[in-house]
């Protein structure tokens, strides 16, 4: 074994810099930890043969005695893998790409040889490990002992020869017809931390975590793909080879993954993003021919993302952004990779539904939270998915407004223009429906350990989005914008954790805000405040004895002072979680009174004297979207039956027509 | 215009239905009572949720947050509507993409809330309609007393059993067609393995169309069997089915045209009301009376269209039984023959 010295590493870095074509335009270079030089070819049967040279620089305080390598494609090796076992019990995306009887649909990955750059063969020590669930059949993670530890500051270079096969596209990697998305396809190092490797098995409900580095990738593909190959970074050259092949050479700096795509049917659309104060970006849109009508909508949405996220959080620092429009049924839509993302559109795509705009802006947003901040998605998925979903909805609302309800009837979309589905209604509704039935885990529980896919998705996407929206509405838009900007700029390319985020919240928004956020993160319970009692009556004097001694008199109260009323309001906290709220009292003369309530007690009673009380309501401005039942948030002193009457009259009519329609089903000709 | 053309038959059917206006009003009352019982849990839940809530004012505003309220209500009171996913799957076809139910009837009866009771009320409404259909068929087959409620009642009682049996056969047939024509054909291919989305949508629509054609044929068999019973004045089920099948095989085009025409007539008033009908704001009782009158008129027109279809079928059968109109007599003029 010959560990690379810092001097040699510097020489390697200098050589690599000569090839670098994608320098960061919006910040200094990131010290590379794991850099890859890969030469791989993919045959017509989607088999892959590759060789990679990995340069690992230990920038931690830990001495690494082995290597941890992900072999993600083994998630689809057989149905005993942790990924497929979790999916079978509802843990992942409901993909149906795999069928047991067709071997072409399964995938695998095998390392044939792993050796140090001095030729020391490490292959015999390779063993599959399952630190997360002890599954002996899972082959998505391997450990390879080293003859000598890699000390802090040292650089190690090793080579891997491997073969793999892409599955029929599932969970955003693989092939469908002549389309290929190569993702999670090469043996990849875990993340070096001061506590050793942070490396997990491939789980169906969570995504990835990797160190930054530089990638130099040469791919050999069928010649039919020439001119229609996209990948992370910059395409340096394409060369046609004998035997009906094409070779594509990509380079990328300061990224933590590499993905590529190819399809002979891609329309290649090029555009440039430019906006004041932000670096220019070349956009490459790889569009399916049946989605040509979506071309301009894709480009506009990409630019919306670049500008909105660039202004609010971090400018996009790379020179090229590749947007992939996947084919129908590919199961690759909606996934992010460094400098490349896969969006997704339908042939019939009414504008009112904001699709593909929604997925395009969202996947672009990952370029910030996944691409540049690069948190640990195995353990803290919310730092990417939730933060990005919140930011996506803000960007969409600003650029497009609220969408209308669109329902597909037998594949044909019908727009109900009069029914608005305001952001973030969909998130709110989905989250509370899950919370009503499960609430199995708090967000603080490592994502891959949460009960099932619903728990992971609800916490990572939904609860986080509602938490951030509630923060923005409760602590103020300007304050919250500063929190997010500070967090993003301070921790770009530094793998921030939830603790880092909370520290920023405390610094910018204050200790109370940080405590509120931390409280939500650590409880699986819901927020639910309710007005449980509202009473108002005309003020009157006392009935009984008053005065003392000789002044003691017996009085019977006279009602008549109808200008002044005594009112009592009880507000209770039914949920386990706590959030600061406001209680608004509305009086008959139109005046209102607002009282803040930290919300920590189980109940609070207010006694009011003044005009007749009409209603009391907790959080009428809906600042706290975590409250799962807003029907109990308010109460009137007197009933107002107008709405229920109006709606019951309509419902009766539709019930009549529904029953009339039912009579047609089996009793033709009957009225 | 030929006396058995589609338009003439449709007009005759509608006029026959109008002659039975008392029975139509009775059917409307039955529909209204069933609808009241069906919708009562939801209406009660709405009153409970809204009357003392600030949501009432929001829903009374011009830009009422309907979608949000629907979400809040169904979350807070999941017992009221129950699980609507199966109905949603049938209405949108989306369930088919996700592997819809093999047995289309399964899951509906076991559901809670309105979702579950809808299946029961559907059967109840259809059974009531079948009894009424017997009455209408009897009156349309008779030459006199079409407006008599007593005669209608007698016919309804006389044909109740065969009409209910016909209805049950139709229900089973349509559900079986849904399963074997629509659902099972969906298992022959994987939509997402098709190259383009339009191919998947086209196949879905073809399967739906095939099911609708089979369902329409079953409906027509039952419709003409009822009409045949009415014309014969006997509840001979086998004979009526035989007559219906024989008739439809010989005249499928006009029968289908009548089916489409009356189907459109039945849906049209609903669409018109949905787009231009007034909405009561819950304030003035006088306005409510007008709105309710309009609503009931819509339902009545729909009921009349359904009955009219049966009347047209009866007339169509009658025309066929009478055979083609006799040729005009040939009159030849000749010289008067002097009497001897």
Q: What is the predicted pLDDT for the residue at A663? A: 80
Q: Is the pLDDT of residue A669 over 70?
A: no
Residues of B in contact with A529 (CB under 8 A): none
Q: Tell me the shortest Cα–Cα distance from A648 to chain B, in angstroms.
A: 5
Position A356 in a domain: no
Q: Is the peptide bond before A440 cis (omega within 30 degrees of 0)?
A: no
- The residue among A481, A497, A521 that closes a domain is A521
Domain interval for residue A650? 644-671
* CATH code of residue A557: 2.60.40
pLDDT score for A25: 54
**How far, in Å, are A305, A663, A671, B103, B116 from residue B123 at the CA level?**
53, 8, 14, 17, 12
pLDDT of residue A3: 47
When pLDDT is cut at 50, 70 and 90, the band that residue A192 belongs to is: very high
**Could you give the CA distance from residue B121 to residue A661 in angstroms, rounded to a whole number?**
11
Sign of CA dihedral A460, A463, A469, A473: negative
pLDDT at A576: 94
Provide the total of helices (H) and of strands (E) in chain A, helices listed first.
12, 33
Residue A414 and residue A507 in one domain:
yes
Tokens 């395009």, residue located: A360
Check residue B323 and give its pLDDT. 62
Alpha helix (H) ranges present in A199-263?
A: none
Query: Given a cut of 70, is residue A91 above it in pLDDT?
Result: no
* Gap between the Cα atoms of B75 and B81, Å rounded: 10
- Do A635 and A534 share a structural domain? yes
A456 shares its domain with A512: yes
pLDDT at B288 over 90: no
- DSSP string covering B75-139, please? HH-HHHH---HHHHHHHHSHHHHT---SSTTTTTTT--HHHHHHHHHHHHHHHHHHHHHHHHHHH
Q: Is residue A569 part of a domain?
A: yes
| Co-location of A446 and A542 in the same domain | no
In a domain, A512, yes or no: yes
Contacts of A658 in chain B (CB under 8 A): 35, 38, 118
pLDDT digits (tens, 9 = 90+) for B227-251: 999 999 988 999 999 999 999 999 9
Query: Considering only alpha carbons, which residue of chain B is nearest residue A534?
Result: B52
B313–chain A Cβ distance below 8 A for any pair = yes
Summary mean pLDDT of chain B:
87
Quick one: pLDDT at residue A542?
Answer: 82
Q: Is the pLDDT of residue B287 over 80?
A: yes
Average pLDDT, chain A: 92
What was the ipTM of the complex prediction?
Answer: 0.90
Distance CA A618, CA A629 (A): 11
Q: Does residue A5 lie in a domain region?
A: no
A90 located within any domain:
no
In a domain, A202, yes or no: no
Looking at the structure, tell me whether residues A543 and A631 fall in a common domain.
yes
φ and ψ at A236, to 5 degrees? -80, -45
| pLDDT of the residue at B279 | 80
Question: Is B302 part of the contact surface with chain A (CB cutoff 8 Å)?
Answer: yes
- pLDDT tens column, B56-112: 888 887 778 888 899 999 998 999 999 888 888 888 987 644 444 455 656 677 788
The predicted model scores a pTM of 0.89
pLDDT at A30: 87
Percentage above 90 pLDDT, chain B: 59
Q: Is the pLDDT of residue A384 over 60?
A: yes
Among residues of chain B, what percentage have pLDDT more than 70?
A: 90
The confidence band for A170, taking pLDDT boundaries of 50, 70 and 90, is: confident
Are A343 and A337 in contact by the 8 Å Cβ rule? The answer is no
Q: Which of A521, A548, A574 is the last residue of a domain?
A: A521
Question: Is the pLDDT at A14 greater than 50, yes or no?
Answer: no
For residue A507, tell me if it sits in a domain: yes
The answer to whether the CB atoms of B93 and A411 lie below 8 A apart is yes
Confidence of residue B280 (pLDDT cuts 50, 70, 90): confident
User: In the structure encoding, which two tokens stand for residue A377, read together?
Assistant: 């998605």
Q: Which residues pair with B78 in a beta bridge?
A: none
**Would you state the pLDDT for residue A22?**
44
Please report, rounded to a whole number, the percentage of residues in chain A having pLDDT higher than 90. 82
Looking at residue A368, its pLDDT comes to 98
Same domain, A652 and A610: no
Q: Closest Cα of chain A to B2: distance in Å?
A: 24
Phi-psi region of A177 (alpha: psi -120 to 50; beta: other; left: phi over 0): left
Looking at the complex, does the CB of residue A630 fall below 8 Å from at least one CB of chain B? yes
| Total number of domains in chain A | 3
**Each residue's pLDDT tens digit, A42-84:** 999 999 999 999 999 999 999 999 999 999 999 999 999 999 9
A663 Cα to chain B: minimum distance (Å): 4
Q: What is the pLDDT of residues B108-155, one digit of tens each?
A: 777 889 999 998 898 899 899 999 999 999 999 987 888 899 999 999
Q: What is the pLDDT of residue B65?
A: 85
In chain A the first and final C-alpha atoms are separated, in Å, by 89
Whether residue B315 is predicted with pLDDT greater than 60 in this model: the reply is: yes
Among A430, A415, A368, A429, smallest CA distance to A395 is for A368
Q: β-pairing, A320-324 with A278-287? A: parallel
B129 in contact with A, Cβ within 8 Å: yes
Provide the pLDDT for residue A562.
65
> In this structure, is residue A483 part of a structural domain?
yes
Q: Are A575 and A628 in contact (CB under 8 A)?
A: yes
pLDDT category, A115, cuts 50, 70, 90? very high
All structural domains of chain B with their residue ranges: 6-41+130-320
Between CA B21 and CA B254 the distance in angstroms is 26
> Do A643 and B56 count as a contact with CB atoms less than 8 A apart?
yes
Of B53, B60, B302, the CB nearest to A631: B53
């Amino acid at each position: 074994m010959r560990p690379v010295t810092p001097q040699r590493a510097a020489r390697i870095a200098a050589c690599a810099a000569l090839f670098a074509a994608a320098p960061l335009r919006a910040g200094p270079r990131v010290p590379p930890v794991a850099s890859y030089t890969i030469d791989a070819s993919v045959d017509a049967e989607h088999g892959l043969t590759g060789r990679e040279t990995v340069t690992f620089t230990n920038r931690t305080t830990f001495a690494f005695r082995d290597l941890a390598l992900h072999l993600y494609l083994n998630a689809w090796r057989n149905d005993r893998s942790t990924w497929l076992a979790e999916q079978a019990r509802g843990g992942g995306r409901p993909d149906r790409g795999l069928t047991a009887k067709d071997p072409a649909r399964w995938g695998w990955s095998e390392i044939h040889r792993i050796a140090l750059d001095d030729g020391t063969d490490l292959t015999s020590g390779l063993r599959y490990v399952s630190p997360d669930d002890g599954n002996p059949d899972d082959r998505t993670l391997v450990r390879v002992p080293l003859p000598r530890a890699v000390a802090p500051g040292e650089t190690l270079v090793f080579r891997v020869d491997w073969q793999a096969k892409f599955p029929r596209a599932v969970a955003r990697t693989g092939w469908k017809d002549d389309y290929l998305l190569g993702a999670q396809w090469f043996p990849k190092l875990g993340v070096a931390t001061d506590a050793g490797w942070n490396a997990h098995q491939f789980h169906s409900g969570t995504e990835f975590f990797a160190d930054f580095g530089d990638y130099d990738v040469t791919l050999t593909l069928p010649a039919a793909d020439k001119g229609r190959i996209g990948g992370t970074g910059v395409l340096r050259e394409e060369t046609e080879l004998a035997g009906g092949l094409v070779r594509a050479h990509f380079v990328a700096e300061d990224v933590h993954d590499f993905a590529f795509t190819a399809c002979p049917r891609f329309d290649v659309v090029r555009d440039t993003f430019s906006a004041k104060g932000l670096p220019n970006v070349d956009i490459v849109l790889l569009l399916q021919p049946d989605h040509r009508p979506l071309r301009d909508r894709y480009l506009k949405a990409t630019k919306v993302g670049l500008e909105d996220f660039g202004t609010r959080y971090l400018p996009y620092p790379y020179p090229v952004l590749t947007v992939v429009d996947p084919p129908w049924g590919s199961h690759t839509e909606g996934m992010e990779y460094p400098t490349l993302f896969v969006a997704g559109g339908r042939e019939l795509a009414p504008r009112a539904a904001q699709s593909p705009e929604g997925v395009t802006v969202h996947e672009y947003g990952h370029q910030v939270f996944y691409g540049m901040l690069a948190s640990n998605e195995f353990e803290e998925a919310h730092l990417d998915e939730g933060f990005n979903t919140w930011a996506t909805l803000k960007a969409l609302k600003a650029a497009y407004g609220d969408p209308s309800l669109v329902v597909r009837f037998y594949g044909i979309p019908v727009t109900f223009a009069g029914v608005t589905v305001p952001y973030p209604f969909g998130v709110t509704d989905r989250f509370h429906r899950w919370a009503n039935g499960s609430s199995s885990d708090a967000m603080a529980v490592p994502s891959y350990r949460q009960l099932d896919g619903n728990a992971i998705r609800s916490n990572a996407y939904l609860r986080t989005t509602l938490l951030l929206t509630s923060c923005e509405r409760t602590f103020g838009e300007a304050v919250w914008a500063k929190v997010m900007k500070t967090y993003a700029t301070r921790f770009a390319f530094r793998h921030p954790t939830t603790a880092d985020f909370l520290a920023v919240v405390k610094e910018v928004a204050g200790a109370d805000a940080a405590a509120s956020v931390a409280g939500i993160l650590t409880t699986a319970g819901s927020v639910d405040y309710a007005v449980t009692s509202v009473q108002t009556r005309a003020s009157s004097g006392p009935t009984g004895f008053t005065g003392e001694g000789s002044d003691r008199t017996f009085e019977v109260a006279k009602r008549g002072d109808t200008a002044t009323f005594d009112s009592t309001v009880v507000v209770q906290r039914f949920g386990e979680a706590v959030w600061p709220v406001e209680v608004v009292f509305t009086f008959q003369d139109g005046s209102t009174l607002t009282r803040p309530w930290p919300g920590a007690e189980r109940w609070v009673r207010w006694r009011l004297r003044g005009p007749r009380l009409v209603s009391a309501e907790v959080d009428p401005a809906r600042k706290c979207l975590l409250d799962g039942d807003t029907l109990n948030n308010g109460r009137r002193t007197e009933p107002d039956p107008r709405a229920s009457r109006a709606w019951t009259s309509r419902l009766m009519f539709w019930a009549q027509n529904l029953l009339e329609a039912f009579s047609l089903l089996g009793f033709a000709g009957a009225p | 215009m030929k006396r058995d053309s589609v338009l003439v038959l449709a007009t005759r059917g509608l006029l026959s239905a109008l002659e039975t206006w008392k029975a139509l009003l009775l059917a409307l009352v039955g529909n209204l009572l069933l609808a009241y019982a069906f919708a009562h849990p939801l209406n009660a839940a709405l009153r409970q949720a809204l009357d003392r809530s600030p949501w009432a004012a929001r829903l009374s505003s011009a830009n009422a947050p309907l979608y949000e309220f629907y979400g809040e209500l169904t979350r807070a009171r999941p017992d009221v509507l129950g699980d609507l996913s199966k109905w949603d799957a049938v209405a949108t076809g989306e369930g088919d993409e996700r592997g819809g139910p093999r047995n289309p009837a399964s899951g509906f009866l076991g559901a809670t809330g309105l979702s579950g009771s809808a299946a029961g009320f559907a059967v109840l409404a259809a059974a009531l309609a079948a009894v009424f259909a017997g009455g209408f068929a009897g009156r349309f087959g008779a030459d006199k007393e079409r407006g008599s409620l007593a005669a209608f009642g007698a016919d309804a009682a006389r044909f109740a059993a065969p009409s209910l049996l016909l209805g049950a056969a139709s229900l089973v047939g349509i559900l079986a067609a849904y399963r074997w024509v629509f659902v099972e054909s969906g298992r022959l291919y994987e939509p997402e393995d098709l190259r383009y989305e339009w191919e998947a949508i086209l196949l879905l629509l073809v399967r739906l169309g095939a099911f609708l054609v089979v369902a329409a044929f079953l409906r027509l068999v039952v419709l003409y069997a009822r009409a045949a019973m009415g014309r014969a004045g006997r509840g001979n089920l086998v004979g009526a089915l035989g007559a219906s099948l024989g008739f439809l095989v010989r005249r499928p085009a006009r029968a289908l045209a009548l089916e489409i025409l009356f189907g459109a007539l039945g849906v049209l008033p609903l669409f018109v009301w949905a787009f231009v009908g007034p909405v009561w704001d819950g304030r003035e009782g006088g306005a409510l009376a007008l709105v309710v009158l309009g609503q009931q008129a819509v339902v009545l027109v729909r009921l009349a269209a359904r009955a009219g279809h049966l009347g047209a079928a009866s007339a169509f059968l009658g025309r066929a039984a009478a055979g083609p109109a006799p040729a005009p007599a040939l009159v030849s003029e000749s010289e008067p023959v002097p009497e001897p």
